[in-house]
Amino acid sequence: MATRKEEIAAYLQAQGLKPKVEDFGVYFQYKMRNFWFLTDDEDEQYLRLVMPGIMDVDKNNLDDVLKACNKVTKDVKIAKCFVSENSDVWIACEQLLDVDPRFEDIIPRSLRIMIGAYNSFLDEIDS
């Protein structure tokens, strides 16, 4: 039986993406952005898609970044926008999966949500 990482990588590969399977998840690029599906071997029904490092954070932009993150998290379904411990902005999409998930439904919608959250973040930063 394939692991969740292998299932996700196989789906991404079938879509023409070039996933790389690592110990903690599956890396790939989509629309010129970096993404990770982070998996939890102890909880196969939990799935977290992250878009790391969308903006660096420093003391000059911290207030604007926090406002933009808060707006994205509040307004975009299942998206979380936050400042990581590395002082950069990440967007995450967390889901609880059915026992037999249909990745052809879940992954495209999750990617649309993430791109929308990213664009909303940039719009808020630019306003």
Instruction: Please report, for the domain that includes residue 46, its CATH number.
Output: 3.30.1460.70
Tokens of 30: 């989509």
| pLDDT greater than 80 at residue 53 | yes
Number of structural domains the chain divides into: 1
pTM: 0.90
Range of the domain at 66: 4-126
Interval 71-94: pLDDT, tens: 999 999 999 999 999 899 999 999
User: In the chain, what percentage of residues exceed pLDDT 70?
Assistant: 100
Residues, the chain: 127
Interval 94-122: pLDDT, tens: 999 888 888 999 999 999 999 999 999 99
What SS3 state is found at 105? helix
